[in-house]
Amino acid sequence: MKNILLFFFCMSASCLFGQINIELKLNHEFDGSSFMYNQVYTNTTPHGKKVELTRVQYYLSNFKLKHDGGQVTDLSGVYVLASGNVSQYDLGSYNISQIDSFSFDLGVDSLNNHIGVSNWPSTHPLAAQAPAMDWGWPAGYLFLAVEGQVDADGDNVPETAFLMHGIGDHLLQKVNISSVLSETGGTIEILLHVNIADWLKDIDLTNVGIQMNGGAENQMLCANTNTYSVFSTESTVGLGGSVVKPKNNIYVNYQLSYAPTICYQLITEKKVDLTLIDQNGRIVLKENALQSQGNFFIQKELANGMYIAQFVNEEVRETCRVLIKK
């Protein structure tokens, strides 16, 4: 009896202490350079045009981890809403020692793609977002959203706006990865490099305009995920092009001019405090302990005018101007 009790105790301890946190790290790049919003790059195909991206967001779902000699753990309930300025995503804790390979989908599975954002708690990736990542019930979610400007007149200055929002179950892409992994303490990190330029290959951005659908251009955008291996275990940084040195980067997305989104990437691993100050020097909004990368949507109703957003911790102090216009 003692041996049996000892056996069950050991099994219980194994289940309790075998849990390890899995983190997905997405290093966003653009053909040899680290990616940042509001940065001008050369889009090599089809016409070698200068391009500047102001929004890159996409859904990842249906994760399956192959680990520990052939075991498979299904993370079908885990969804990631990824942004071009954010690298770290928590996938949860599991009884896993070593991951051999894994797969996931670009997009949202058909079962949950059409039930609507109101069915999810506010903090869930499938809940309502700002800017919006869905086309309303029952049309479904934006699997991939890319927005920016392209140089259409040949003066090397991006000035012509384009917007691509991929919508529809037929855009779903299965991605298989033989992963390069590193373990730090109680965490396994899945490191992927995401070459955003590959999504745009073979698409004439000068003629795209506004595409909020599941049509030919958005089909090509999503299909390029596998055609050109957007997700890879190998980095493109340093393999040509002008390398953008890491720096603090803050960009304001004015898709909603009355409540813009502040997209930020700060070179610090510590959390930061955000303060929004009006033209009279008064603090009108303050948020503490934000992640060092993220998208901060200004939910508070503010009067029209110019504001200063200030990000601060012991290592960084960065500011940017934010215009509120109703």
For residue 300, give the nearest of 281, 324, 319, 282 by alpha carbon: 324
| Adjacency order of strands within the sheet including 261-265 | 249-253, 261-265, 293-297
Number of H helices, E strands in the chain: 4, 22
SS3 label, residue 239: coil
pLDDT band at 184 (very low <50, low <70, confident <90, very high): confident
Q: 45 falls in which pLDDT band (50, 70, 90)?
A: confident
Is the pLDDT at 2 greater than 60, yes or no? no
What is the distance between the terminal CA atoms of the chain, rounded to a whole angstrom?
74
DSSP string, 192-259: EEEEHHHHTTT--GGGT-EEEESSHHHHHHHHHHHHTTSEESS--TTSSS-PPPP--EEEEE-SSTTS
Burial (Cβ within 10 Å: 0-12, 13-18, ≥19) of residue 206: middle
Among 24-33, 254-263, 269-278, 307-316, whose mean pLDDT is lowest? 254-263
Q: What is the mean predicted confidence (pLDDT) over 195-216?
A: 96
Distance from C-alpha of 119 to C-alpha of 141, rounded to nearest angstrom: 13
> CA neighbours within 13 Å on the CB side: how many for 44?
10
**What band does 37 get if pLDDT is binned at 50, 70 and 90?**
very high
Q: What per-residue confidence (pLDDT) applies to 296?
A: 95
Q: Which residues pair with 181 in a beta bridge?
A: 190
Q: What is the dihedral of CA 114, 256, 121, 284, to 10 degrees?
A: 180
Reported pTM? 0.88
Residue 218 has pLDDT above 90, yes or no: yes
Q: How large is the C-alpha radius of gyration of the chain?
A: 21
For the segment 25-40, the average pLDDT, to the nearest whole number, is: 94
Residues 6+ apart with CB under 8 A from 105: 60, 61, 62, 172, 173, 174, 175
Q: Which pLDDT does position 256 carry in this prediction?
A: 82
95 beta partners: 19
More confident residue, 175 or 258: 175
The dihedral over CA atoms of 30, 23, 250, 244, expressed in degrees to the nearest 10, equals -30
Q: Which two tokens stand for residue 102?
A: 């894994």
Element (H, E) at 2: helix 2-17
Q: What is the mean pLDDT of residues 53-58?
A: 97
Give the span between the Cα atoms of 17 and 190, in whole angstroms. 21
Q: Residue 132: which residues within 8 A CB-CB, separation 6 or more?
A: 142
Residue 241 has pLDDT above 80, yes or no: no
What CATH number labels 249-324? 2.60.40.3080
Contact yes or no for 158/151 (Cβ under 8 A): yes
Residue 25 clears pLDDT 80, i.e. is over it: yes
Beta strand 305-312 with 317-324 is: antiparallel
Report the distance separating Cα 293 and Cα 311, nearest Å. 11
Q: Which helix (H) or strand (E) holds 118?
A: none
User: Could you say which DSSP state residue 206 is in?
Assistant: G
Percent of the chain scoring above 90 in pLDDT: 76
76/95 Cα distance (integer angstroms):
16
Report the pLDDT value the prediction gives residue 179, as an integer from 0 to 100: 73
Residues 177, 65: Cα–Cα separation, whole Å: 10
**Mean pLDDT score of the chain, rounded to an integer?**
90
Measured distance CA(270)–CA(267) in Å, rounded: 9
* DSSP, res 130: S
| pLDDT reported for residue 244 | 53
pLDDT of 326 higher than 90: no
Q: For strands 160-167 and 210-213, give the pairing.
A: parallel
Instruction: Report domain extents, the chain.
Output: 16-232, 249-324
